[in-house]
Amino acid sequence: MILNLDKNASSADIHLLIDKLETMGFQVSLGKDGVGTSLALVRGVDNFTRAELFSHLPLVEKVTPFPDKFKLTSKDFRQEQTVIDLGNVKIGDGSLTVFAGPCAIESETQIHEIAEAVAKSGASVLRGGAFKPRTSPYAFQGLGEQGLKYMRNAADTHGLLAVGEVMTVEDVPLVADYMDILQIGARNMQNFALLKEAGTSTTPVLLKRGWAATYTELLMAAEYILSFGNANVILCERGIRTFETHTRNTLDLAAVPVLRELTHLPILVDPSHGTGLRHLIAPMSKAALAVGADAVMIETHTDPDASVSDSRQTISIETFGRLMEDLRRIGDAMGIKINISGKQEKAA
């Protein structure tokens, strides 16, 4: 159920109502935007719970059942776009944020060189894997916590935010100590224990779409995170498996406008994993901007062919710089600002 409240209700009265609902056995989530204030009853409601039970409560002006399986991710709960506020960088405010960096953190020198280069070109968020989920158990698995330390230092030195992947429940507090954004990869999109743990964190989460996940399944995965308390989720379209084998995956750019209709959460496109081919990164990044993505994430390296992982989909620093110039020109034509690097402080 969604309870739409009196717009003039005081904060104290709203919290008294929340306390009352919780004593009735419901889990309540508060939603507030420019349209109004609402309460979502996300647990404790079943098919036998009638709207009349809530319509006579103080402050309640309207009671609406959730029309879809997803609740907190739905525009029925929150009509205004969610904006992830990371100091100088705001994701979801109508601008484009660029995440860039290597697939894997290989050494302290490597991540510093790449961080310096992408910051100069205008990226806002440094990406890089310290824990690498690989198809082969013999492939490079990452530097672990030492890699996180290298990443944090490189991001701070060059005025960038940082995003890092979590693979297990135990990773969440560790990675959150170093990173500004937690990434949950495609393989873990339906790792429900991990989603719940990320939901208890105050660090924003980048949630990647699974290889064969529907839009509803992606939103339901995000619902786990939101229902456990973390409202700062960025959805990531990173390509899905189809019959086509020329590209690594099929980048589903239709996901951006479709998800825009369904949810208030910001949307990022990953053309590197979405195509797996470096010559496709630039055109698909431009296409992502054109269809309304809030962010793009690009794999780049000072020596792409020497990258320890995903070298075929990694572009050079020089190519990345040219791409950023093109994105600025397209953004200017569309009236879209490209976020420039600059970090004030780690997100609370």
Place 315 in a pLDDT band, splitting at 50, 70 and 90: very high
Which residue did the predictor score with more confidence, 58 or 267?
267
How far apart are the C-alpha atoms of 264 and 143, rounded to whole Å? 35
Total-model pTM: 0.88
The pLDDT tens digits of the residues spanning 270-304 come to 999 999 999 999 999 999 999 999 999 999 999 99
**In terms of Cα–Cα distance, which of 25, 82, 59, 71 is closest to 205?**
82
Instruction: Answer yes or no: are the C-beta atoms of 171 and 131 closer than 8 Å.
Output: yes
The pLDDT tens digits of the residues spanning 166-180 come to 999 999 999 999 999
Question: Angle CA(307)–CA(126)–CA(136) in degrees, nearest 5?
Answer: 40
Q: What does the pLDDT read at residue 40? A: 86
Instruction: Answer yes or no: are the C-beta atoms of 218 and 258 closer than 8 Å.
Output: no
Place 104 in a pLDDT band, splitting at 50, 70 and 90: very high
Q: What does the pLDDT read at residue 252? A: 98
Q: What does the pLDDT read at residue 25? A: 86
The pLDDT tens digits of the residues spanning 115-165 come to 999 999 999 999 998 876 666 776 666 788 999 999 999 999 999 999 999
How far apart are the C-alpha atoms of 89 and 86, rounded to whole Å? 5
Residue 345 reports pLDDT greater than 70? no
Place 221 in a pLDDT band, splitting at 50, 70 and 90: very high
Place 344 in a pLDDT band, splitting at 50, 70 and 90: very low
Residue 347 reports pLDDT greater than 60? no
The pLDDT tens digits of the residues spanning 3-20 come to 888 888 888 999 999 898
